[in-house]
């Protein structure tokens, strides 16, 4: 059973480790990523299901050449051919996920990819940010009636709404959106994580974060702002790939998982009830004490009392109201001023 919606109902953070191209073209690396991601605390391992031909065509026109950024100089077809996860590996990766007790997820990029994943018995689908505008693909994928996780990098509000409506047209309401900044790596000033609560309110859907920024901070802030899912690219130390420059090594990923779960606990609320520890600490607050002996019948004067710690006396807000009142019993220096001791 794919556990995403169960986690959402339980208000738990669901963590997806994205393998992407970080297997480096070696199946043993892919299986090792599954094992190490599971050990690090991932709830799910995600791959991508495509061939170069499902994404583009083999063409040398300038349109198909990358001229800047992380993949500068690549032709699209060559990049996707190098970075893809072979279809014949998918079953082994899915089986390894089952052995490790984590969910398996993939991103299809065409109908053939969806059909292939259906033969594997996948239980959910991910739509990548770049494919969010491919409404026919979204409709076809959603028609399988599996949970749909859709990244929203580069998307306008209208485009997000179009993708949601594509799912709903085929009676699929099992939708989770992921806030995403489609820059690799994503600079903090472009993350705009306040979109997470805003998207949740606008679309009335669970919202998570697909995080391409460096380190754990983006994920921690995302969870504090209500992200129910964190997706992060993971890599093996020393294995270079098309995606390794913006991916997280496993030791750091394990720490991120701990930080994210801690952030979830820290961000609980609102709750203004005192904790047990706070209740125990109230005795160290300030209160009104006698700083000189006060005889029975003597007036309470400012030179006789003071607001100090600890908190066994009357609250400081009563200080002015008891000045000039008579003591109805002897009050010794160092004793708390209580309502039962004055008129």
Domain range for residue 232?
Answer: 4-266
Are residue 214 and residue 284 in the same domain, yes or no? no
Are residue 61 and residue 199 in the same domain, yes or no? yes
Q: How many CA within 13 A on the CB side of residue 250?
A: 20
Structural domain includes residue 271: no
Of the three residues 236, 266, 296, the one that is the final residue of a domain is 266
Of the three residues 266, 295, 322, the one that is the final residue of a domain is 266
Q: How far is CA 198 from CA 104, 201, 202, 225, in A?
A: 29, 5, 6, 10
Are residue 289 and residue 193 in the same domain, yes or no? no
SS3 state at 208: strand
CA triple 89-94-98, angle to 5 deg: 150
Are residue 206 and residue 289 in the same domain, yes or no? no
pLDDT digits (tens, 9 = 90+) for 52-68: 999 999 999 999 998 88
Residue 89: predicted pLDDT = 98
The single residue listed with the structure tokens 């606008």 is: 202
**Cα torsion for 183, 186, 188, 194, to the nearest 10°?**
60
Helix or strand holding residue 17 (H, E):
strand 14-18
pTM: 0.91
pLDDT digits (tens, 9 = 90+) for 199-249: 999 999 999 999 999 999 999 999 999 999 999 999 999 998 888 888 999
Are residue 67 and residue 159 in the same domain, yes or no? yes
Structural domain includes residue 97: yes
Are residue 218 and residue 332 in the same domain, yes or no? no
Which residues, listed in sequence order, are joined to residue 208 by a DSSP beta bridge? Answer: 178
Count of domains forming the chain: 2
Are residue 172 and residue 123 in the same domain, yes or no? yes
CATH number at residue 140: 3.20.20.70
pLDDT digits (tens, 9 = 90+) for 150-206: 999 999 999 999 999 999 999 999 999 999 999 989 999 999 999 999 999 999 999
Are residue 262 and residue 304 in the same domain, yes or no? no
Q: Which two tokens stand for residue 54?
A: 């499902």
Structural domain includes residue 76: yes
Contacts of residue 10, Cβ cutoff 8 Å, sequence gap at least 6: none
Residue 290 CA to residue 131 CA, distance in Å, equals 73
Structural domain includes residue 39: yes
């Amino acid at each position: 059973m794919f556990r995403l919606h169960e986690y959402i109902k339980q208000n738990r953070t669901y963590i997806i480790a994205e393998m992407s191209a970080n297997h480096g073209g070696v199946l043993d690396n892919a299986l090792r990523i599954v094992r190490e991601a599971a050990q690090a605390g991932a709830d799910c391992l995600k791959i991508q299901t495509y061939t170069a031909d499902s994404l583009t065509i083999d063409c040398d026109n300038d349109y198909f050449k990358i001229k800047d950024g992380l993949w500068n100089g690549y032709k699209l077809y060559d990049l996707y051919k190098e970075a893809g996860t072979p279809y014949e590996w998918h079953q082994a990766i899915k089986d390894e996920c089952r052995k490790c007790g984590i969910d398996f997820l993939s991103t299809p990029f065409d109908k053939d990819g969806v059909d292939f994943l259906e033969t594997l018995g996948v239980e959910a689908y991910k739509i990548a940010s770049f494919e969010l505008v491919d409404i026919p693909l979204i409709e076809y994928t959603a028609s399988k009636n599996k949970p749909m996780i859709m990244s929203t990098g580069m998307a306008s509000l209208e485009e997000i709404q179009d993708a949601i409506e594509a799912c709903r047209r085929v009676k699929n309401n099992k939708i989770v959106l992921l806030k995403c900044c489609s820059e690799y790596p994503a600079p903090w000033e472009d993350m705009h994580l306040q979109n997470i609560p805003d998207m949740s309110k606008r679309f009335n859907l669970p919202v998570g974060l697909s995080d391409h920024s460096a380190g754990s901070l983006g994920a921690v802030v995302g969870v504090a702002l209500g992200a129910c899912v964190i997706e992060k690219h993971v890599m093996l130390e020393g294995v270079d790939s098309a995606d390794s420059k913006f991916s997280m090594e496993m030791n750091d990923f394990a720490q991120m998982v701990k930080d994210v779960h801690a952030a979830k606990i820290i961000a609980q609320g609102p709750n203004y009830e005192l904790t047990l520890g706070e209740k125990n600490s109230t005795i160290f607050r300030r209160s009104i004490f006698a700083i000189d002996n006060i005889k029975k019948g003597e007036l309470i004067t400012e030179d006789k009392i003071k607001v100090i710690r600890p908190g066994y006396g009357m609250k400081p807000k009563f200080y002015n109201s008891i000045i000039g009142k008579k003591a109805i019993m002897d009050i010794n220096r160092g004793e708390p001023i209580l309502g039962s001791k004055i008129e």
